[in-house]
Chains A and B, each alone.
Chain A
Amino acid sequence: MDNKISIKAAHKTFGEGERGIVALQGVNLDIARNEFVTFVGASGCGKSTLLRCIGGLETLSSGSIEVDGVPISGPGVDRAMVFQHYSLYPWLTVMDNIKFTRKLQAGREDLTSADVEAASGRADALLDLMGLTHVCDAYPNQLSGGMQQRVAIARALLPRPQILLMDEPFGALDAQTREVMHDLILHVSKLEKTTIVFVTHDVEEAIYLGQRVVVMAPRPGRIDSIYPVELPAKRDQDMKLSPEFMQQKKAILHRIRETAGMRTDYELLERMTRQAEQQKDKQ
């Protein structure tokens, strides 16, 4: 098996005793090298918690997460993370944000001039890849939300991480920008050969990007079902309108609704409308 990430009997509880909340219960999952896996689920299903555990920002209560067969014990440069927002450093220019990991290394060891040159070359290549060259001297708050996320992705990619963890990275962007970012991140995943774990609340995004869509269920947070995506590897936006895509979207949406135990009570709404109309008639 060519597994990059193995999650084994992962269990996570927040708080103690009776008031403790089980965020993850018995999660088992293998993620292959270079795979693009997306996680969806109702709020409180633990998808973000699971991602943060892989990133090493949270520790499991029991169970383990292995990367290349080695259990993780905290954050590491092999696993880069992209957050929804507020993760860029507003006092640094775009270029300095992207080179932040180099700055960390430079403070620790003596880098040869060849290293520095390679780092600059890498940063320039990423600026180019993400379409940021013309704003490399700008500050983050001068950029649109979409451009800011491009910077965040470029910064995460700089040290050539093998795994990219993305926590609703496009959740705050408008629909058009999001489409552009989708194709960009697919391009990046092929080019950089990174394993990508992507958390979102948008089912369409999950299907379009993922090779597998993992549906999680809340209370307690757990994996409910896994949907392999049967779309051609080379995606394009029109696929979102194909019957297969729609079918899968419908199936996943239904499944999420069931796990959440929440649905629109159409009868109640109708009754309320009727009552309101009767009231009006009386007047």
Chain B
Amino acid sequence: MSAAKPTSSLERLCAAWCRLWMIRGHLSRRTYLMFALVGLLFPLAVWWGVSVSGWMDKVFMPGPADVLSRTYVWFKEDDLMHDVWISTYRVIAGFSLSAVLAIPLGLMIGTYRPVQAMLEPLTDFIRYMPAVAFIPLVMLWVGIDESSKIAIIFIGTFFQMVLMVAEDVRRVPITQIEAAQTMGANRREIVSLVIVPSAKPALLDTLRVTMGWAWTYLVVAELVAANSGLGYSILRAQRFMQTDKIFAGIILIGLIGLAIDQLFRWLHRKNFPWMYKK
């Protein structure tokens, strides 16, 4: 930064700025974190600004501080942890149930043509039926206890998951399968030693994506027939005009989702080190 050449340092800055905007360019880790931080803090700042300006009524737009203090009260007096626990339990139960059934079924659809012909059109059809519309039926058949919430999450995620798993399995390169055939592998060995390990990373990604949908259906399930849980609390807060609690509930679901998503990503790196070595 010599004073003798002010233009050149300015030019350098310009060049560095331009490099950032290269198509599919490269960012250093520090620059990446900086941009990520801006992306996260900017909306927060806007939110805070709007709330302190008094431009909007607190009933409609509580500030970050209100939401925080409401969360604290919820934690202290209203058993927040129970709501978090029961909601997480419902999501995990519904999600696990659909994963346990969808993975073998999707594996069969993606591997054997007759199974595909028999099940895929049907699944495709059911997939387009809105899961929410099943709620009255579920309440009739399953009742209004825990299992009905789990059932709704199951209906919402299962059919999508089957098709995605089938697609993951179909994406296994045919050459990998044919190589195993020429090495004398039988059908069972091809499935267990080639198709499953080859599709595993994609399967874990499918689980990660469908986990997000499970949380969406949780709220739907709890809006209808529940007396605890995050979704239920959001609904009840609306009845009492506790906008800050609605905010808190939504943000909490977002944070739990983010944590689970990161857990899946960590599992991915942990289990498939070969994908990350270059």
Residues of B contacting A104 in the complex (Cβ-Cβ under 8 angstroms): 183-185, 189, 193
A77 within 8 A of B: yes
Query: Beta-carbon contacts of B191-202 to A below 8 Å, as 1s and 0s?
Result: 001100110100
Interface bin, chain A = 20 to 34
Interface residue from A77, A91, A142 paired with B197 (Cβ < 8 Å): A91
On whether the beta carbons of A139 and B182 are closer than 8 Å, the reply is: no
On whether the beta carbons of A77 and B183 are closer than 8 Å, the reply is: yes
On whether the beta carbons of B272 and A107 are closer than 8 Å, the reply is: no
Report the minimal beta-carbon distance from B201 to chain A, rounded to whole angstroms.
8
Query: Beta-carbon contacts of B238-278 to A below 8 Å, as 1s and 0s?
Result: 00000000000000000000000000000000001011011
Residues of B contacting A57 in the complex (Cβ-Cβ under 8 angstroms): 178, 181-182
Query: Beta-carbon contacts of A85-99 to B below 8 Å, as 1s and 0s?
Result: 111111100000000
Interface residue from B173, B184, B194 paired with A75 (Cβ < 8 Å): B184
On whether the beta carbons of B193 and A103 are closer than 8 Å, the reply is: yes
Report the minimal beta-carbon distance from A160 to chain B, rounded to whole angstroms.
13
> Provided the pairs A76-B184, A104-B185 are in contact, do residues A91 and B175 lie with their beta carbons within 8 angstroms?
no
Residues of B contacting A259 in the complex (Cβ-Cβ under 8 angstroms): none
On whether the beta carbons of B173 and A86 are closer than 8 Å, the reply is: yes
On whether the beta carbons of B182 and A91 are closer than 8 Å, the reply is: no
Kindly report which residue of chain B lies nearest to residue A140, judged by CB atoms.
B274
Complex CA gap A77/B175 in Å reads 16
On whether the beta carbons of A79 and B176 are closer than 8 Å, the reply is: no
Residues of B contacting A90 in the complex (Cβ-Cβ under 8 angstroms): 198, 274-275
Report the minimal beta-carbon distance from A51 to chain B, rounded to whole angstroms.
11
On whether the beta carbons of A87 and B175 are closer than 8 Å, the reply is: yes
On whether the beta carbons of B198 and A91 are closer than 8 Å, the reply is: yes
Residues of A contacting B185 in the complex (Cβ-Cβ under 8 angstroms): 104
Number of residues from B at the complex interface, CB < 8 A: 22
B13 within 8 A of A: no
On whether the beta carbons of B272 and A91 are closer than 8 Å, the reply is: yes
Complex CA gap A155/B198 in Å reads 18
B34 within 8 A of A: no
Residues of A contacting B175 in the complex (Cβ-Cβ under 8 angstroms): 83, 85-87
On whether the beta carbons of A141 and B181 are closer than 8 Å, the reply is: no
B115 within 8 A of A: no
B73 within 8 A of A: no
On whether the beta carbons of B183 and A80 are closer than 8 Å, the reply is: yes
On whether the beta carbons of A80 and B197 are closer than 8 Å, the reply is: no
A81 within 8 A of B: yes
B56 within 8 A of A: no
How many residue pairs bridge A and B at CB < 8 Å?
73
Kindly report which residue of chain A lies nearest to residue B174, judged by CB atoms.
A86
A101 within 8 A of B: yes
B179 within 8 A of A: yes
Counting chain B CB atoms within 10 Å of each CB, which of A79, A87, A101, A142 scores highest? A87
Complex CA gap A114/B189 in Å reads 24
Query: Beta-carbon contacts of A55-87 to B below 8 Å, as 1s and 0s?
Result: 111000000000000000001110111010111
**B-contacting residues, A14-41, CB 8 Å:** none
A245 within 8 A of B: no
On whether the beta carbons of B277 and A101 are closer than 8 Å, the reply is: no
Report the minimal beta-carbon distance from B180 to chain A, rounded to whole angstroms.
8
Residues of B contacting A141 in the complex (Cβ-Cβ under 8 angstroms): 274-275, 277-278
> Provided the pairs A89-B194, A91-B197 are in contact, do residues A142 and B182 lie with their beta carbons within 8 angstroms?
no
On whether the beta carbons of B176 and A77 are closer than 8 Å, the reply is: no
Residues of A contacting B278 in the complex (Cβ-Cβ under 8 angstroms): 141-142
Kindly report which residue of chain A lies nearest to residue B192, judged by CB atoms.
A107
Complex CA gap A159/B183 in Å reads 9
> Provided the pairs A83-B178, A142-B277, A142-B278 are in contact, do residues A101 and B198 lie with their beta carbons within 8 angstroms?
no
Report the minimal beta-carbon distance from B254 to chain A, rounded to whole angstroms.
33
Counting chain A CB atoms within 10 Å of each CB, which of B179, B198, B200 scores highest? B179
Interface residue from A86, A91, A100, A138 paired with B183 (Cβ < 8 Å): A100
Complex CA gap A76/B180 in Å reads 10
Complex CA gap A71/B20 in Å reads 63
Report the minimal beta-carbon distance from A93 to chain B, rounded to whole angstroms.
8
Kindly report which residue of chain B lies nearest to residue A139, judged by CB atoms.
B274
Residues of B contacting A155 in the complex (Cβ-Cβ under 8 angstroms): 183
Report the minimal beta-carbon distance from B178 to chain A, rounded to whole angstroms.
6
**B-contacting residues, A127-184, CB 8 Å:** 138-142, 152, 155-156, 159, 165
Counting chain A CB atoms within 10 Å of each CB, which of B173, B178, B184 scores highest? B184
Residues of B contacting A80 in the complex (Cβ-Cβ under 8 angstroms): 182-183
Residues of A contacting B198 in the complex (Cβ-Cβ under 8 angstroms): 89-91
On whether the beta carbons of B182 and A56 are closer than 8 Å, the reply is: yes
Kindly report which residue of chain A lies nearest to residue B201, judged by CB atoms.
A91
User: Which residues of A line the B interface, CB within 8 A?
Assistant: 55-57, 75-77, 79-81, 83, 85-91, 100-101, 103-104, 107, 138-142, 152, 155-156, 159, 165
A-B contact pairs, 23 of them (CB 8 A): A56-B182, A57-B178, A57-B181, A75-B182, A79-B182, A86-B176, A87-B173, A89-B194, A89-B197, A89-B198, A90-B275, A91-B197, A91-B200, A103-B193, A138-B277, A139-B277, A140-B274, A141-B278, A142-B277, A142-B278, A152-B179, A156-B183, A159-B183
